[in-house]
Structure 1
């Protein structure tokens, strides 16, 4: 059962990533699928240390399995989002961070 569920997650992720241009909704669905895949592995391990490590990783910006960055712009958006949450920055300062990323 686990191997079938993991394989289904992999297929879903592969299907979502086939497009050369990924819509924001597709990126969100891919990140959710990636998070589900990792959660299944951790659950199947039945190991408290692995579970604790996963919980810790989930709190580290840009490390959690549900955080997937596809390009520099997405990376900057995610970083901006996390910075806003972490630093409780006001919206009037976020434009400074958002425009700091080099344009491709």
Structure 2
């Protein structure tokens, strides 16, 4: 199957997460495109995206370098995102969701349910889940009607794995990853229910846990020796 642009970004992100691309490693378009079996254009775009995420540094002349990322930097960025998204969910619940926001979130919940209605997810399924997940988070932020939250999240998303769109997954254990994303989507359902029913504190708590669950993934034994160069965005799971 030919890799999409999202596949290329996710593949490179996961290679960093797994330590296959170590801190200080230099990346160039041609060898990377040959390794992934794609043209140079999606690789070039992926490099820029990962630079924005804080995982790569553009070199003065040509190419990029994998950044060394500390555990503290990752944890701090994720905790900040949890606080900001939790605040957004609480304010959205207290203001009351508009009919348009309710409808959009319901459709995304249904889309997520369809994606996860399989025994084991594929890479294509996870690409679709990523798109659904990002839109769900975007609508929660939008529904808060608080420009300061949006601005603060925009700044925070330049840190490694602090963005809801920074998806990574373990291809060698897709059944386990399926369970991980099922849990994450269950949290989507719960936060929607809380917001619709005006339960601001509950919505805030769920959304914060939804982000902070990532910390369990980062601190798991599987990833314990990779923390000089990585990160992702959830587990307990999100």
Name the TM tier (shorter chain): 0.5 to 0.7
TM-score normalised to the size of structure 2?
Answer: 0.29
Q: How does 1:64-75 map to 2 (within 5 A)?
A: 64-71=163-170, 73=172
CA RMSD of aligned residues (A): 2.9
Deviation at 1:12, TM superposition (A): 0.6
Of residues 108, 111, 116, the one that matches 1:9 is 108
Question: Which residue number in structure 1 is paired with residue 132 of structure 2?
Answer: 33
Q: What is the CA deviation profile of residues 79-98 of structure 1, one whole-angstrom value per residue up to 9, with x for unaligned ones?
A: xxxx6xxxxxxxxxxxxxxx
Can you give the 5+ residue segments of structure 2 that lack an aligned partner in the other structure? 1-99, 178-216, 223-228, 230-238
Tell me which structure has the larger Cα radius of gyration: 2
CA distance in 2 between partners of 1:71 and 1:65 (Å): 17
Question: Which residue number in structure 1 is paired with residue 147 of structure 2?
Answer: 48
CA distance in 1 between partners of 2:159 and 2:124 (Å): 23
Q: What is the CA deviation profile of residues 12-43 of structure 1, one whole-angstrom value per residue up to 9, with x for unaligned ones?
A: 11211221211111101101100001111111
1:22 aligns with 2:115: no
CA distance in 1 between partners of 2:161 and 2:116 (Å): 19
Native 8 Å contact 1:42 1:54 kept in 2:
no
CA distance in 2 between partners of 1:10 and 1:60 (Å): 28
TM-score normalised to the size of structure 1?
Answer: 0.60
Can you give the 5+ residue segments of structure 1 that lack an aligned partner in the other structure? 77-82, 84-104
CA distance in 1 between partners of 2:104 and 2:168 (Å): 24
CA distance in 2 between partners of 1:57 and 1:19 (Å): 34
